[in-house]
Amino acid sequence: MEATRRRAFATPADTVISVIVFGLLFYILWLVIDWAFVRAVWSADAVDQCKVDSIGACWSVIDARHRLILFGLYPFEEHWRSTAACASIIATVVLSCMPAFWSSRRLITLWIVGFAAYYLLMEGSLIGLPQVTTDQWGGLSLTLFLFSSVVLLGMPMGLGLALMRRSNMPVVRLTATLIIDFVRSLPLLTTLFTAAVILPILLPEWLQGDKIWRVILAFALFFACYQAEVFRGGFQAIPKGQWEAGKALGLGQWTTLFDIILPQVFRHALPATINMVVLTFKETAIVIIIGFFEMLASAGAAFGTGEWVPYYLEVYVFVGLIYWVFIFSLGQYGEYLKNRMKVDHR
């Protein structure tokens, strides 16, 4: 309390500013609460009340259309599978934030298991459920699918590029540098658009694959090129002496790399890596432009027809909230780790 007083009301000028600013903040907060809760309509059946002028948010649209936003075009009867699949990805992300899982083997297993659970549930045919092809996946579940597969594929690719860039063979180094700089100079949208639309012209037919996998691979490449730079920073933080120590112990090059150097690289690169992961989650929304039915696209569809057209604001707020909670909490977690590591160093 004392600290607050000192920070907000130290001088008369501070006091004036504080009163005005806090007053404004509370006023805005009140407007939001009033709109979103006090004067809101909640149920889909009560949609007629929304037409009254004095009414606030019309959450009826969410009540009626939330399944479309969350699951897109996924068959209606199978939505429990989508729910379970989303839960498995979210659990994977949450668990990998826990120090108990911070060993290479556990993390790898966790992600592969989480991703496999997602895929098996969504696709279905391998575990005896009715098959649902990827073109019917949508909404939040597609967003999570894109996100997790990009991170899962991009992480080893990024490490590969980072190692290539540190190679003492000029051709290897140059190739990696060229790829990294090229991809980083292009807007993500251009890369994805190329993968979706242009690549099939350049590739023989047996190599083209499904559009969604081409886009995921391109997205993973984009992730990898940024992540490679993150790893590079991690490598630079490791003193040269570590290599020599490994050698002195009679360890081979690869053993030194994987058992001594890389764990430290990962530790140094962790906050920046979390930043990249957060960024990737945010950027998945961009695939709406190349025609995927992810969460933002299904949000558009949710208020796209009939009686729901006027309630675009409610839908955007709902979707925004989902994104925000996920991104904010991951971001805060990254901050926390960064601070913790700073303390470790002292």
Site mask, other proteins, residues 142-181, x = CB under 8 A?
-------------xxx-xx--xx-xxxxxxx--x------
* 232: contact with other proteins by CB under 8 A: no
Stretch that binds other proteins, among 37-45, 54-62, 123-131, 186-194 (CB under 8 A): 186-194
The reply on whether position 263 binds other proteins by CB under 8 A is yes
Figure out which of the listed residues 36, 44, 251, 327 binds other proteins, where binding follows CB under 8 A: 327
- Least distance (Å) from other proteins to the CB of residue 128? 20
32, 126, 291, 342: which one contacts other proteins (CB under 8 A)?
291
| List 66, 91, 331, 337, residue binding other proteins (CB under 8 A) | 331
When asked if residue 311 is in the footprint of other proteins (CB under 8 A), the reply is no
C-beta of 304: minimal distance to other proteins in Å? 5
Angle at Cα 282 formed by Cα 165 and Cα 58, nearest 5°? 175
CA distance 225 to 157: 8
Q: Which amino acid is at 247?
A: K
Question: Could you say whether residue 1 binds other proteins (CB under 8 A)?
Answer: no
Nearer to other proteins among residue 88 and residue 227 (C-beta): 227
According to the binding rule CB under 8 A, does residue 33 interact with other proteins? no
From 45, 75, 94, 237, residue interacting with other proteins (rule: CB under 8 A): 75
Instruction: Work out whether 48 is an interface residue with other proteins (CB under 8 A).
Output: no
Site for other proteins in 243-262 (CB under 8 A): 243-244, 247, 253-254, 257-259, 261-262
Sequence-distant (6+) residues with CB within 8 A of 40 are 55, 56, 57, 58, 59
Q: Are 58 and 311 in contact (CB under 8 A)?
A: yes
Task: Give the Cα separation of 7 and 78 in Å (integer).
Answer: 55
- Under rule CB under 8 A, residue 66 binds other proteins: no
State the nearest-atom distance from the C-beta of 122 to other proteins, in Å.
Answer: 15
- Applying CB under 8 A, the span of 32-40, 55-63, 122-130, 316-324 interacting with other proteins comes to 316-324
Q: Cβ distance 134 to 212 under 8 Å?
A: yes
Is 266 an interacting residue with respect to other proteins (CB under 8 A)? yes
Q: Which CB contacts under 8 angstroms, 24+ apart, belong to 116-122?
A: 117/85, 117/88, 118/85, 118/86, 118/88, 118/89, 118/144, 118/145, 118/148, 121/81, 121/82, 121/84, 121/85, 121/88, 122/74, 122/81, 122/82, 122/85
Between CA 130 and CA 149 the distance in angstroms is 23
Between CA 268 and CA 272 the distance in angstroms is 8
Q: Is 222 in the site for other proteins (CB under 8 A)?
A: no
Site residues for other proteins, 77-106, by CB under 8 A, read 96, 103-105
- Residue 146 near residue 161, CB atoms below 8 Å: no
In the structure encoding, which two tokens stand for residue 73, read together?
């075009």
Which of 120, 123, 300, 337 is the binder for other proteins (CB under 8 A)? 300
| Residue 125 binds to other proteins (criterion: CB under 8 A) | no
233 contacts: CB under 8 Å, gap ≥ 6: 268, 269, 272
Q: Would you count residue 45 as binding other proteins (CB under 8 A)?
A: no
Tell me how far, at minimum, the Cβ of 162 lies from other proteins, in Å. 9
Q: Out of 201, 250, 343, 344, which residue is the one contacting other proteins (CB under 8 A)? A: 201
